[in-house]
Amino acid sequence: MIWRKSWWECRARVFWAAFAYVAVSCMALVFFSNPPTAKNALATWNLFSILLACFVTPIITVLLAGSGINSQTAWGMFQGFHASMYFLLSMPVSRRRALLVRSALGAIFTVLFVLLSIGTVALGVRLLGAGVPIARVFGSIPFMLIDAFGFYGLSTFLCILLDEFWAGMLGMGITGLLFGMEVGFWVLPIHFKPAQILSGELFLSTGVVGWPVIVFFLLMGVSFLAASVYLVERREY
């Protein structure tokens, strides 16, 4: 039943994530609809994959991480948690289980949307005959999942720490910062361009695996999820 409750809490967010997915799909079709040359198509793919890694995925994770184990938080400055928390906490279910079930469900949908986004891109590439090797599109899956995992951990932590409004704002802020790094607002060496690594672009174009960034994002996911569990278990309501 705790799964069903999590689904009830998650379903509206899944709708918004689906909206983001449809938007990505439409963009993919536009991007790949008329590539004049193979070189341009590759450049388009690169830009698109970066957009997917450092903009769409974080937004989906912020949406799906939602409000942690809280049913709902009011949008506004420090509105606090919904009073149904008292009811939930009086029941014989551990806080860890409540959070992990909720996070697991959000994570399942996150994976689903990442796969769907990439699948749509692959379909677009295939149908429209854009000059991007299909293996390159699918090769980005593990990197994109690591990207989603890191952001999902961060989003969960922010949702536990802050109320939904501030968690969303901070999540978007971090996303904007990352996007700025990628599009060259700051001149950074290639190993400091996480989205190029996490979208698989670096690996597929040069054969280099950006391990530091990959390990960083894996650690980010694990440590933020662990911190969320720690915080939820010790927090007073």
Partner 1 sequence: MSSEAIEIRGLVKQYGNIRALDGLNLTVPRGALAGFVGLNGAGKTTTLKILLQMACADEGAAHVFGLNTASRIDSLNIRRRTAFVPERKDLFPYMTIGEVIAFTKSFYPKWRSDLEKRYLKDFGLKYEQKIPQLSKGTLSKLHLLLAFSRGAELILLDEPTDGLDPLGVEVFLQALVGLVAEEGVTVFFSSHRLNEMEQVADYLCLIHKGRALLNGQLDDLKTACRRVVLVFGGDSSPLVREFAATGPVKQDGRTLTVLANGAVASVVERAKVFGATSVDIQQLSLREMFLELVKGDAQ
CB of residue 95 to partner 1, shortest distance in Å = 9
Q: How far is residue 43 CA from its own chain's centroid?
A: 23
Q: Are 80 and 37 in contact (CB under 8 A)?
A: no
* Residue 189 within binding range of partner 1, rule CB under 8 A: no
Q: How far is residue 109 CA from its own chain's centroid?
A: 10
Nearest-angstrom CA–CA distance, 159 and 168:
8
Stretch that binds partner 1, among 79-87, 125-133, 157-165, 199-207 (CB under 8 A): 79-87
* Residue 237 within binding range of partner 1, rule CB under 8 A: yes
Measuring CA to CA, which residue among 211, 235, 219 is closest to residue 159?
235
* Residue 78 within binding range of partner 1, rule CB under 8 A: no
Work out which of 75, 87, 185, 230 binds partner 1, going by CB under 8 A.
Answer: 87
Nearer to partner 1, 95 or 191 (CB): 95
* Residue 163 within binding range of partner 1, rule CB under 8 A: no
Residue 133, phi then psi, degrees to nearest 5: -60, 135
- Number of shown-chain residues binding partner 1 (CB under 8 A): 22
Q: Are 231 and 208 in contact (CB under 8 A)?
A: no
* Residue 5 within binding range of partner 1, rule CB under 8 A: yes
* Residue 16 within binding range of partner 1, rule CB under 8 A: no
* Residue 89 within binding range of partner 1, rule CB under 8 A: yes
Nearer to partner 1, 39 or 97 (CB): 97
Contacting residues for 87 by C-beta, under 8 A, at least 6 apart: none
